[in-house]
Amino acid sequence: MKTENIMNLSKKVVLTAAVGFFTSFGFAQSLQDGINFVDSQKYAKAKQNYTDLINQNPKDANNHFYLGNTYLTQFDPNFDLAQESFNKGLAVDAKSYLNKLGLASVKLGKGDKSAIAEIQQIVKDSREKDAEVLFRAGEALTLFEKFSAPDLAITFLNKAIERADKKGVPANYYYSLGDAYRIKKDPGNAMTAYDKAEAVAKNKASVFTRKGTLWMAAQLWQKAKENIDKAIAVDPTYAPAYKALAGYNIKYQKNAEATQNLINYAKYADEDAYTQLEIAKLYFTNEDFANAKSTLDSVFDKVNDPIKHRLRAYIQYGDGDYAGAQKSIETFLSTAEKSRIQPSDDGLQGLIAAGMAKDEKDAAKKAQLDALATQKIGIAKAAKDETMKWDEELAKIKGGINTASVDQGPTSPAIEALKKKVIENPADTDSLYKLATEYQNVQNWNGAILTWSKMSSALPDWAPAYYSQGYAYQQAGNNEMAKASYEKFITLVKPAEIEASKPSLGYAYYFIAFLEKDSNPEKAKQYVAKSLEYEPTYQDAITLQTALNK
């Protein structure tokens, strides 16, 4: 499961941009506290802070903006409460550019791209005199990646930096500039912006965490870990660093370490219900279903956002409660804003339908559910959605591949010893390799499939894992999944590895050609030719090529 794309549940591209205002910039210290709380993902404290400011000075429209903006920048935006706050600000001051930007941001977050032109007009009306208005305009255009305008955001943010330069540029101006470059997929300029933030930020942990997540996005894992470790070293209470570290450990299948990271994250963030909801998502990503369920249950009635029903659907699916999962995802789809519905929602419905079809006794209903599963999963795959490994999940359902089915298969003393090692250290790739091999030796193909899958998750670019998984699927009689695994193997073999991989490449190309010979003869011809390129004397490939060329 893709760590950075689980259920597309968070609209943030990176950590919320805030922190680093200088008191000389003209803000009261209490406003600074709120900004720092948002940056530390202490959203409940930030909301209370801004509410106190409003009570102290109800005629200051800006305080309503900062409260509303907190609702927008939390993990799952609460558009209704944000809009309510911005409207209150405009009731105090009808000319408040910040609150006008806030309302435009709500429109943009809901998918109305006409809000981009509104933001431009608000900036124009302000005559670009106020650095904070320029900054918040740029920030608004980066809050929602799906509805972002990074080039325009970069323009506004650079103007904000230029306007603020004489009084000292706040670090969050640079953070948001870096975030805009990230959306634009320009990591070089993003890192330059973060470097400038580091020079002025009071809390370097915030900078190091952002750099760490940027390196993670580039899949430069060592540099990512170095920066995250630096963040924790300079501020052991900085919650977002633990969230980033959890993402790192989830990537490497270090489930126990990731769970501890999430415990620390919860400890140093706060009890805001939306933060707890985010923690539940991360537990799910870590395949820690028990903690995901208990955390979600603890805040389910405190959160109004329909997203809670989507998360519950995934957890119920993971538990095999297909009827409950179907009810939950239907509730989400019927109550969520249309802009929040994703191809992954179709994919999940497809998997649920497949699970229900498996135990359906009525032949007509079973066929109907199977057809629905194919259609819905096809939508997710066509959109190139990688929230889950759709084919693998479907194969597990249809093949009954799960821990129970593995345990029912053949075993050996070596397998039992290796299973204990993997439980103690899920990222022990040496033990995973040996365990998968032992499963193959005793012909427990379900065990081999699941274990090679764990190996490919731990080492996603290691081609042999996919070849071996293809072989296990083939032996289990699942030719379609075998073909998919062999295709993945072919794409991952590096030029330097071709010589040593020629026998495996020859067979993989032949197997795919054999399966395609009736439905796609042209592809079959191409693949069998590649097979013989690597293994010129491979008789089965020679025979197939002769038959295809008749």
Q: Which residue has better confidence, 493 or 19?
A: 493
Q: Write a three-state SS string for 430-476.
A: HHHHHHHHHHHHCCCHHHHHHHHHHHHHHCCCCHHHHHHHHHHHHHC
Residue matched to tokens 């209470």: 237
Average pLDDT, the chain: 88
Q: pLDDT tens digit string along 424-478?
A: 777 788 999 999 999 999 999 999 998 998 888 778 789 999 999 999 999 988 8
Burial of 319-337, coded b for 16+ CB within 10 Å and e otherwise, reads eebbebbbebbebbbeebe
pLDDT at 24: 34
Taking CA atoms, 271 is separated from 41, 263, 302, in Å, by: 10, 12, 11
Query: Which pLDDT does position 19 carry in this prediction?
Result: 36
**Furthest C-alpha separation in the chain:** 87
> Which of 104 and 407 is assigned the larger pLDDT?
104
CATH code of domain 403-549: 1.25.40.10
Among 315, 367, 213, smallest CA distance to 6 is for: 315
Lowest mean pLDDT among 351-360, 393-402, 410-419, 456-465: 393-402
Predicted confidence (pLDDT) at residue 512 exceeds the cutoff of 70 = yes
The tokens of 379 are what? 């939508």
Confidence (pTM): 0.63
The reported pLDDT for the residue numbered 253 is 66
Report whether pLDDT(27) > 80: no
pLDDT value at residue 445: 94
Judged against a pLDDT cut of 70, whether residue 4 lies above it is answered with no
Tell whether the model's pLDDT for residue 5 goes beyond 70.
no
Mean pLDDT of 486-513: 94
Helix, strand, coil shares, percent, the chain, to 5: 75, 0, 25
Query: For residue 98, what are its two tokens?
Result: 């910040």
- Which H/E stretch holds residue 30? helix 29-39
Checking if the pLDDT of 397 tops 90, the result is no
Average pLDDT estimate for 302-331: 90
Least confident of 7-11, 147-151, 301-305: 7-11
The dihedral built from the CA positions of residue 35, 36, 37 and 40, taken in this order, carries a sign that is positive
Q: What is the pLDDT of residues 131-166, one digit of tens each?
A: 999 999 999 999 998 899 999 999 999 999 999 987
Q: Which residue, chain included where needed, has tokens 């919860």?
A: 266
Highest mean pLDDT among 82-91, 260-269, 470-479: 82-91
Q: What does the pLDDT read at residue 16?
A: 37
CA distance linking residue 37 with residue 177, whole number of Å: 20
pLDDT (mean) for 494-517: 94
Among candidates 61, 200, 203, 55, which has minimal Cα distance to 132? 61
Task: Report which secondary-structure segment, H or E, holds 190.
Answer: helix 187-200
Break the chain into its structural domains and give their ranges. 317-398, 403-549
DSSP per position, 393-434? HHHHHHHT-SHHHHHTS---HHHHHHHHHHHH-TT-HHHHHH
pLDDT > 90 fraction of the chain, expressed in percent and rounded: 60
For residue 302, the model assigns a pLDDT of 85
Checking if the pLDDT of 7 tops 60, the result is no
Q: How sure is the predictor about 503, in pLDDT bands with cuts at 50, 70 and 90?
A: very high
Q: Which whole number is the average pLDDT over 266-281?
A: 83
Q: Give the mean model confidence (pLDDT) for residues 296-308.
A: 87
**Residue 343 binned pLDDT confidence (cut-offs 50, 70, 90):** very high
